[in-house]
Amino acid sequence: MSTLLPRRRLGVGGLEVSALGLGCMGMTGIYGPPTDRTEMIGLLHAAVERGVTFFDTAEAYDPFANEELLGEALCVVRDDIVIATKFGFDIAPATGERRGGVNSRPEHIRAVAEASLKRLRTDRIDLFYQHRVDPAVPIEDVAGTVRDLVAEGKVLHFGMSEAAVGTIRRAHAVLPVAAVQSEYSLWHREPENELLPALEELGIGFVPFSPLGAGFLTGQIGRDTTFAPGDFRNHVPRFAADAREANLALVALVSRIAADKAATPAQIALAWLLARKPWIVPIPGTTKIHRLEENLGAASVELTNADLREIDEALGHIALKGERLPAAALAMTGR
C-alpha cells in the first residue's frame, strides 16, 4: 500500500488518516445520475493505491447504495483504511425509505449501525458521525448510545456533523468526539468564527466537506454553466447564475495564486485548508481519476505565511453572494 500522502490525527483517541480523504457521496448520484459502478470501484482502488486511507460515506447517500459500493470495493483492504459513515436522518433501516426529518433515537442509532456494518462488509465502523443533530433527542443520549457501541467494539470513534459548538461540548463531555464535519473552504469561512477555536480547545479534529465549494473553486464552473437535472446545485442559492457571476471574483483570485505556484485552483483551495491547522483533513469528492490525482497533488503545494496573508487580505475585498444551502437544509445545521 502506498504511503505517498502524509498522515494526520483526528482527536485525541489515536485516529490517524491520510491528510486528504475521499468524499464518496457523488459516486452514487447527487450531482446527477449515478456513475458506472465498475468505474467507481476502480476509482476507490486507485485512491488506496495513491495513499488515501480515509473514506467518507453515509447511509443517506442514495440509500443505501453508497455504503454498499464502499463495502464491495474496500473489503479487500479493510484493515488498511478508515471508513466514516453516518446516522441521524429518518430513513427506514430495512428499506431505505426516506421518512423525512431527523432521527437520533437510541434504538434507531443501533439499527443504523447494524445495517451499516453489513453493507460495509465489516465488523466495526471506524468513525460514526451524527449526520444532523436531532433536537428531539438530548445529545447526551446520542453520545451515550454511541459510547455503548464503542464498548461493544462496533464503533471505534464518535463524530458530529454540522453541529453547534454548545452541542459539541455537551456530547464531548459524555464521549470524546474525534472529529466534526462541516462545510469549510475559501468559499465558506464561517467555521473560523466559533467552531475552529472550540475544536482546538477540545482537541477535536475537523473534516471539511465541500472543500472545493461543490466544484466552484476548481475554475470549471462559470455563469452560464448548466447542471444535470438531478444535480443538487440546481437548488443551491450560491449556484444561481447571478450569484455565480459575482462569486467568480474568488475564482479569479485562486486562479492567479495557482498560476504563481504552478498549481491548479483546486490544489490551492485544498492546500489553503491544509495550511490552516494540522488537525484539518479535507475530503474532496470526485468521480474521475485525473481529478483524484489533481486533488492529492495539493499535499505537495506549499503556501507560505506570506501567501496566506495575501489570500486573507484579498478575501476581505470579495463579497460572496448567495446561501451555501437551500433554506430547508440550512435549518437543520448549527443545532
Residues recognised as catalytic: 61
Instruction: Give first-to-last CA distance, the chain, whole Å.
Output: 40
* Strands 15-18 and 7-10, bridge-based pairing: antiparallel
* 209: preceding bond cis by omega (within 30 degrees): no
Half-sphere exposure for 165 (CA within 13 Å, toward CB): 13
Q: Could you tell me the three cell numbers for 214?
A: 461543490
Under a CB-based contact definition with an 8 Å cutoff, are residues 303 and 271 in contact?
yes
Contact 295, 220 (CB under 8 A): no
In this structure, the chain runs to a length of 335
Nearest alpha-carbon partner for 73 in 24, 101, 117, 40: 40
Phi, psi (rounded to 5 degrees) for 129:
-90, 145
Pairing status of strand 89-91 against strand 98-102: antiparallel
Q: Are 150 and 143 in contact (CB under 8 A)?
A: no
Distance, CA of 270 to CA of 188 (rounded, Å): 13
**Cα 11 from Cα 4, distance rounded (Å):** 23
Give the integer Cα–Cα distance in Å for 160 and 156: 14
The cell for 216 is 466552484
